[in-house]
Structure 1
Amino acid sequence: MTPPGTHRGLVAGLGAMGSNHLRVLSSMDGVEVVGVIDPDATRRDHAGFPGFSTLGEALAATGAGFVCLAAPVDELPALATEAIEAGSAVLVEKPMAPDEDAARAMIELAEARGVLLGVGLVERCNPAVRALRERIESIGRVYQLHARRLSPFPNRDSMLGVAIDLATHDIDVMRFVLGEDVDRVFAETAQRRHERAEDLLCSTLRFSGGQTGLLEVNWLTPTKVRQLTVTGEDGMFVVDYLTQDLSF
């Protein structure tokens, strides 16, 4: 019997990100994974949870209170709509939709139905980022934030380009720790080695509080770098996303 107060959920999509979500959710107290959804029967069988080929089938069988969506991006709007219409809260992987119109439609539907819709901007949950947010006032006025998110090409089917697949994390973290919105953006992108999408982005951001943000993002470097440097009038913080360390 499920203990009172337990959140019962589904994971839709068992690729790289969906498998990560399944691993984390299944280890959390107060959460019960009641099913997984994937068109691939082998993936479903290996997951170790009740498997379904469609979200509708899973919702009808389980009455899950939330759905974690990690399917290919073109499928996310329809899946989110189905879950929201059923009254289930939704955590959707980013990018949440293939274009802005589809994303806004998802948000508007969730608001109209009073259903929680969240996006998997998971760097907000990184302990180093949360510590930075708590301590950022200690360096006084913030002058600049410089993010470097570099790696080899991941070669996953869902890749849309570094702007929407990677840089969204850094823009979100900058807004999160500053509590400011972006006023203007200048960016250059390029396709240097890969045919499917841009693999390099350099960008300058201006925030509403006057701070400057710099983004270096690519799928071209041989080693993985995930770093944020915040420079202020009284010091500097460096976040290493990979080791989850914050240094001053």
Structure 2
Amino acid sequence: MKRVLLVGAGEVGAKHLAALSGVPGVLVAGVADPDPCVDVPRGVPVFASWRAALSAATPDLVVVATPPGTALCVAREAAQTGAAVLVEKPCTTEPAALVPQPGDGRIFVAFQPHFAPGLNALLAMPPAVTRADVLLSVHRDPGYFRGWRRTYADAGGILHQQAIHGLALALRLLPGDVEMVNATVTHSRGLAETEDHVIAVLALSGGATVQINARVDHPGPPAHELILHLTDGRRLHVRGRNLEAGLGEIAAAPTHEELRRAMYAAALNAAEGHPAHPCLFSMTALRRPLEVIDRVYRDARVVRAAYAAAA
């Protein structure tokens, strides 16, 4: 029986707890949160201190679902115990914080959409890609941007919080440095420090490009998708509300709960010394997407529209 500790029992932690509760051979050995926002199953110990939980629960896997900054600290201390670690994105908004440290090889980012159908083979044998289109169209009410999500310093922007699943996947398939950025960041609803819309074109060394169109003020059905333009003229379309259909049909897409369970199994397998599953995303590899995101925001033209005009 594998023992799992969940650190953080807020909105995202609740999703992990639901997924973990249905995994054969896995025991939720504890939940660490001073004020859980979810009903913890009877018999599962609740700890106010994550350090106390690490000591008492002796976990094989630690799932970290806390805000950025804290998440990185928890993940690294958890890895020092010998446990495998899955940490929610982005874990930090500072690329320099991801300079490798001892134990970082046991930490993976919880990109469960990367386990969607067809992506295993895609990542195991990456095709030659000339362009990637990262598309995000969702609606987030102003109330979503409360607490730690209010400030850019704590939460980053929508590329850190919303579009990073697809952007990180695209960058796994597209090597090279960013040579040019043409971007516009639009604030139209007064969402604290968070923007409503990012449009960007990135030129990479080697000639490939990444095009981003990410918005959180979309009035229609939500979608987060990735279109890969291959050198042979084909297109691969990773579909879903959040990439979950992968290269398959949307009607046959697995649930995110199912994708999380596949991710837990892969992390536990890697912790036993087996080769890492192609869909696992190491935390050290997150540094490059964060550097790219920093470059977009640094070079972007910022447009601030009056709220009344945008309503």
Contact in 2 for aligned 1:237/1:247 (Cα 8 Å): no
Correspondent of 2:114 among 111, 117, 124:
124
Secondary structure in structure 2 of the residue aligned to 1:189: strand
Higher strand share: 1
**Cα shift at 1:13:** 0.8
Q: Give 1:230's aligned residue.
A: 228
Comparing 26-35 with 52-61, which one deviates more in the overlay? 26-35
Structure 2 residue identity aligned to 1:244: A
What aligned pairs does 1:164-183 form with structure 2 within 5 A after superposition? 164-176=160-172, 178=173, 180-183=175-178
**Distance of aligned partners of 1:130 and 1:245 in 2 relative to their CA distance in 1, 3 Å threshold:** same
Contact in 1 for aligned 2:180/2:204 (Cα 8 Å): no
Q: Give 2:129's aligned residue.
A: 142
**CA–CA distance in structure 2, aligned partners of residues 211 and 102 of structure 1:** 28
Q: Give 2:238's aligned residue.
A: 239
What aligned pairs does 1:148-167 form with structure 2 within 5 A after superposition? 148-153=135-140, 155-156=144-145, 157-159=147-149, 160=155, 161-167=157-163
Over the residues paired in the alignment, what is the CA RMSD in angstroms? Answer: 2.8
**CA–CA distance in structure 2, aligned partners of residues 121 and 42 of structure 1:** 22
Contact in 2 for aligned 1:191/1:200 (Cα 8 Å): yes
**CA–CA distance in structure 1, aligned partners of residues 202 and 111 of structure 2:** 19
**CA–CA distance in structure 1, aligned partners of residues 10 and 235 of structure 2:** 38
**Cα shift at 1:206:** 3.0
1:205 aligns with 2:202: yes
The structure with higher relative contact order (CA 8 Å, sep 6+) is 2
1:59 aligns with 2:54: yes
**Cα shift at 1:102:** 3.1
Q: Give 1:34's aligned residue.
A: 29
Contact in 2 for aligned 1:9/1:68 (Cα 8 Å): yes
1:13 aligns with 2:8: yes
**Cα shift at 1:230:** 2.1
**CA–CA distance in structure 1, aligned partners of residues 123 and 107 of structure 2:** 23
**CA–CA distance in structure 2, aligned partners of residues 22 and 148 of structure 1:** 29
* Normalised TM-score (structure 1): 0.80
Contact in 2 for aligned 1:129/1:173 (Cα 8 Å): no
**Cα shift at 1:96:** 1.0
Structure 2 residue identity aligned to 1:164: H
**CA–CA distance in structure 1, aligned partners of residues 16 and 177 of structure 2:** 29
Gaps of at least 5 residues in structure 2 are 150-154, 250-311
* Normalised TM-score (structure 2): 0.65
